[in-house]
Structure 1
Amino acid sequence: MRTIKFCIYKEPPYYVAQCLNVDVSSFGETVEEAIASLKEAVELYFENSPAAEYQQIDEVLVGEGVVHG
């Protein structure tokens, strides 16, 4: 069993859930659906690639900023 950290953002009309420990994302019409879909996708990821690299993340911060370009 592994603990995953993820972020969720709205990309209309869906919520996108992005795992921070491995390069896996999923989506749903609700936040709850996006989370459930992400958990299933991550489980399948490890099932299909048992030696896949897992990055341990202890703390997650969320920010927003403006860049010029």
Structure 2
Amino acid sequence: MKQTKQLTIIIEREGDGYVSLCPELDIASQGDTVEEAKSNLIEALELFFETANNSEIERRLNNEVFVQQVEVKIG
């Protein structure tokens, strides 16, 4: 049975498409839709884990990623 790992993804609109980023590994992808950007990033992450050795995974993996929304004054 394959292992799984919970990771964070951030998807932003960029021009006519979307860019997706996994901040824990600093791996990004893109797509024409939110779902396509998400799917492409998952594929890129799975490929990374299939091909990277343990030392590269350890070196790149940042387990302390905090995603929060803040309120700031703009006027």
Which residue does 2:29 correspond to in 1? 26
Q: Which moved more, 1:45-54 or 1:25-34?
A: 45-54
Matches within 5 A, 1:43-54: 43-51=46-54, 52-53=57-58, 54=61
| Residue from 23, 38, 62 that aligns with 1:55 | 62
How large is the RMSD of aligned CA atoms in angstroms? Answer: 2.1
Q: Identity percentage over the alignment?
A: 35
What TM-score does the superposition give when structure 2 sets the normalisation length? 0.73
Contact 1:5–1:57 (8 Å) recurs in 2: no
Mark the runs of 5 or more structure 2 residues left unpaired by the alignment. none
What is the aligned length?
Answer: 65
The letter for the 1-side match of 2:41 is: L
Deviations 1:8-53 (A, max 9, x none): 1111121000001102100010001100110000000111103113
Matches within 5 A, 1:2-41: 2-41=5-44
Mark the runs of 5 or more structure 1 residues left unpaired by the alignment. none
Whole-angstrom CA distance in 2 between matches of 1:46 and 1:64: 36
Q: Which runs of 4+ in 1 moved over 3 A?
A: 62-65
What TM-score does the superposition give when structure 1 sets the normalisation length? 0.78
